[in-house]
């Protein structure tokens, strides 16, 4: 029957005659999708196992340029918390252009914390970018005692003041179990 129509009888398929051209529908490529290939010297050293802990990076003040280094060293202990998502607007000739600014804190609850800020036209993209930036900004937090030096350090070692813009934050050492006397955003940190 297909001979009568001049060779156009194969109506099934995608018109390529099953010769295997094109990229297909993405089957069979899942194994190499999430493999981290380091691009910096520090990344290669971490992947080879020559740098075992994040303290070695902080000890020599090495710049971390890949978020995967933090993922590799802190593994399952890393938690991220979305602090705030706020819309920001820019006036254009056609009206306002709304974008979303995401603030994300990343930490392991053991003395390492990072803060990331990212602005994007979509909320999910802004959060993803802020998490990556927060991982690149991870710093160690020095902890100390209040009163007796028993057990693990539980508070800041001395009075600390931080300022950004018009906001001033002051951390004061307190006894174990006091908790934070702070706003909800400060408690998340």
132-168 pLDDT, tens digit per residue, is: 999 999 999 888 888 878 888 888 889 989 898 898 8
Alpha-carbon distance 116 to 103, whole Å? 6
84 beta partners = 103
Q: Running DSSP on this structure, what letter comes out for residue 155?
A: B
Alpha-carbon distance 171 to 173, whole Å? 7
**pLDDT of 45 over the 90 cut:** yes
Q: pTM for this one?
A: 0.75
72-118 pLDDT, tens digit per residue, is: 998 888 999 999 999 999 999 999 999 999 999 999 988 899 999 99
DSSP3 helix / strand / coil % (the chain, rounded to 5): 25, 25, 50
Chain centre distance of CA 148: 37
User: What is the predicted pLDDT for the residue at 27?
Assistant: 61
Alpha-carbon distance 105 to 83, whole Å? 7
Strands 112-120 and 167-171, bridge-based pairing: unpaired
Q: Is 168 in a helix, a strand, or coil?
A: strand
């Amino acid at each position: 029957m297909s001979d009568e129509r001049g060779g156009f009888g194969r109506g099934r398929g995608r018109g390529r005659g099953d010769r295997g051209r094109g990229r297909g529908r993405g089957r069979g490529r899942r194994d190499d999708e999430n493999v981290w290939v380091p691009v910096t010297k520090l990344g290669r050293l971490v992947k080879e196992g020559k740098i075992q802990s994040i303290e070695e990076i902080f000890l020599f003040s090495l710049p971390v340029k890949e978020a995967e280094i933090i993922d590799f060293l802190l593994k399952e202990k890393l938690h991220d918390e979305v602090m705030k998502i706020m819309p920001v607007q820019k006036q254009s000739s056609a009206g306002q252009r709304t974008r979303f600014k995401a603030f994300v804190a990343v930490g392991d609850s053991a003395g390492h914390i990072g803060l990331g800020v990212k602005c994007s036209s979509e909320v999910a993209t802004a959060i993803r970018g802020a998490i990556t930036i927060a991982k690149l900004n991870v710093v160690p937090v020095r902890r100390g005692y209040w009163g007796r030096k028993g057990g693990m350090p539980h508070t800041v070692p001395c009075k600390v003041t931080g300022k950004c813009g018009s906001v001033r934050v002051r951390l004061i050492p307190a006894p174990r179990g006091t908790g934070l006397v702070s706003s909800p955003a400060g408690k998340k940190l």
